[in-house]
Amino acid sequence: MKKRYGLVLFIAAMSLALLASVLLVRNRQEAANQARQIVASDMAGTNVETDVIKLRVFAAAHMKVNVTFTLMGSYNRAVAEAKSKSNGSGATYAAAQASCDRRGVDSIRQSQCVAAYIAANGGPAPEVKLPEIAKYAYQYIGPAWSFDLAGLLFIASLLLGIVAVGGLVHRAVTK
């Protein structure tokens, strides 16, 4: 193999590896964008089951796509439903909710505030069974290598790199 062919193969291998890296980053960004869209749609109250399935399929088909998100809108709606079901004393509970309703306070602290308010005002503390937040949290981890364009380009760059290094070694040994 002539000297310049080895250099051309090495440059081609590095170019393919760079292109594969760019595609890998683009796939990760696409998964993150899909997750943000799912969370926003969930906060708006729309059904996101099909979008969650699409994201799971996307993550499984693209290498190194790792995405984590929590459906806080669905969780907050489930918490509100649990609180409304446990509403034993209507007036006291409504007053407790009104006094404890503050922006930026998570639902667990708010329910503790409501229970403390009702206990302080003589009423029995309602037994509020909050849903588990783990049911609303998703984590998808893509494979280390997949048969997508980025994976194929990484394999092609690896093969070209091996051929280029093999040519250099062959030339050094035969001289």
Q: For 60-74, give the DSSP string.
A: HHSTT-EEEEE-HHH
pLDDT attached to residue 146: 92
Residue reference for tokens 């667990």: 108
Who's near 13: CB < 8 A, 6+ residues apart? 157, 158, 160, 161, 164
Q: What percentage of the chain reaches a pLDDT higher than 70? A: 89
Who's near 162: CB < 8 A, 6+ residues apart? none
Is residue 138 domain-resident? Answer: no
Is residue 111 domain-resident? Answer: no
Round to whole Å and give the CA distance between 2 and 70.
57
Who's near 93: CB < 8 A, 6+ residues apart? 87, 114, 118, 123, 126
Round to whole Å and give the CA distance between 58 and 146.
11
Amino acid at 100: C
98 exposed, middle or buried (CB, 10 Å; 0-12, 13-18, 19+)? exposed
Domain holding 156, by residue range, is 3-68+145-174
Who's near 73: CB < 8 A, 6+ residues apart? 39, 42, 43, 44, 45
Is residue 127 domain-resident? Answer: no
State how many domains the chain has.
1
Is residue 120 domain-resident? Answer: no
Is residue 158 domain-resident? Answer: yes
CB atoms within 10 A of CB 81: 11
pLDDT tens for 56-98 read 999 999 999 999 999 999 999 998 888 777 655 566 677 777 7
Is residue 86 domain-resident? Answer: no
Q: What is the pTM of this model?
A: 0.71
For residues 151, 154, 160, 164, the Cα torsion angle rounded to the nearest 10 degrees is -160
Taking residues 14-26, what's their average pLDDT?
A: 96
CB 72 within 8 A of CB 121: no
Is residue 150 domain-resident? Answer: yes
Residue 120 confidence (pLDDT) above 90 = no
Is residue 7 domain-resident? Answer: yes
